[in-house]
Amino acid sequence: MGTATILVVDDERKIRDTVRSYLEREGYAVLVADTGQRALEALERARPDLVVLDLMLPDLSGEEVARSVRSHSDVPIIMLTAKASEEDRVNGLRLGADDYLVKPFSPRELVARVEAVLRRSAGSATPSTSFDGGGMVIDRDAREVRLGGEPVELTRSEFDLLHALASHAGRVFSRFELVTKVQGYDYEGYERTIDAHVKNLRKKLGEDPKHPRYVLTVTGVGYKFGVKPDA
């Protein structure tokens, strides 16, 4: 789960900083927003893997944000609130929340819930995925890549980039999305570092830079993985 991107939405800076610190310690990439509008903008730009959403926000309410998200996305949502009644929890779950945590909460418990929700949303996803009839194997848990049975030495950033692309083969990722997954936060002004990672990754995968097979350039947008996983 180390390459999963989490969006933390809370108007209290102390809570944002604490949650971010605990999640980053576990290897997650973390984006933060302090208003509902900024949360929706971040969701549109970065398409995170999970949202930690406070219900009490200064502009849009957390319920409004959740309703907007659910109108077009099934991204997992964990709601945070000071409201502890059963009715509030039920309403939150009816809005499409995957889990619910009442303030004050333990950051360690939140991390455990994030892990559990991501596991559930991943369903039966296996840690190891093969492509090209086994010609390429990406092992998420071992953080290993093999080509033709031979290991490929990748840096952490190169592996995270390859895994992010290959996990959603065929989907186009913007540089902004990829930099949040690889660097762990919005590396503003440095999205072009992704181009350097791609160049190095293609070289290590033995790709023809003019006619790559795995990591494809989508002009004006970003990159995608060009080979579907083996059935």
Residue 20 belongs to a domain: yes
When computed from its CA atoms, the radius of gyration of the chain, rounded to whole angstroms, is 19
146/114 same-domain check: no
118/144 same-domain check: no
pLDDT at 141: 77
> How does the average pLDDT of the chain come out, rounded?
85
pLDDT digits (tens, 9 = 90+) for 52-76: 999 889 999 888 999 898 888 888 9
* pLDDT at residue 30 is higher than 50: yes
169/93 same-domain check: no
103/133 same-domain check: no
Dihedral over Cα of 119, 120, 121, 122: its sign: positive
Residue 230 belongs to a domain: no
Question: If pLDDT is split at 50, 70 and 90, which confidence band does 189 have?
Answer: very low
62/137 same-domain check: no
Q: What percent of the chain has pLDDT over 70?
A: 88
152/106 same-domain check: no
* pLDDT at residue 2 is higher than 60: no
Which among 90, 122, 154 is the end of a domain? 122
Residue 231 belongs to a domain: no
Once rounded to an integer, what is the mean pLDDT over residues 41-61? 91
Kindly report the number of other CB atoms within 10 A of residue 126's CB atom.
Answer: 11
Q: Tally the domains of the chain.
A: 2
26/106 same-domain check: yes
Find where tokens 């060009």 sit.
226
pLDDT at 167: 87
Tell me the CATH number at 144: 1.10.10.10
* pLDDT at residue 209 is higher than 80: yes
Residue 147 belongs to a domain: yes
Once rounded to an integer, what is the mean pLDDT over residues 12-33? 93
CA nearest 77: which of 61, 100, 60?
Answer: 100
How far apart CA 93 and CA 107 sit, in angstroms, is 21
Residue 157 belongs to a domain: yes
10/118 same-domain check: yes
Which among 55, 90, 122 is the end of a domain? 122
pLDDT digits (tens, 9 = 90+) for 88-132: 666 777 777 888 888 889 999 999 999 888 887 765 455 788 998
CA distances from 124 to 118, 121, 131, 227 (A): 11, 9, 18, 21
How far apart CA 229 and CA 119 sit, in angstroms, is 20
pLDDT at 131: 92
* Inter-residue contact 55 to 12 (CB < 8 Å): no
Tell me the CATH number at 58: 3.40.50.2300
pTM of the model: 0.61
pLDDT digits (tens, 9 = 90+) for 117-172: 888 776 545 578 899 888 999 988 788 999 999 999 988 888 889 998 998 889 99
Residue 101 belongs to a domain: yes
Greater pLDDT, 201 or 1: 201
Q: At residue 198, what is the residue type?
A: V
106/172 same-domain check: no
Question: If pLDDT is split at 50, 70 and 90, which confidence band does 51 have?
Answer: very high
Tokens representing 60? 């849009």
Which among 122, 144, 171 is the end of a domain? 122
Tokens representing 215? 């990591």
> What is the DSSP code string of 123-185?
TT--SEEEEGGGTEEEETTTTEEEETTEEE---HHHHHHHHHHHHTTT--EEHHHHHHHHHSS
> What is the DSSP code string of 19-37?
HHHHHHHTT-EEEEESSHH
Residue 197 belongs to a domain: yes
pLDDT at 85: 67
Residue 54 belongs to a domain: yes
* Inter-residue contact 28 to 6 (CB < 8 Å): yes
189 contacts: CB under 8 Å, gap ≥ 6: none
112/79 same-domain check: yes
Greater pLDDT, 186 or 215: 215
- Structural domain harbouring 133: 128-225
80/175 same-domain check: no
10/109 same-domain check: yes
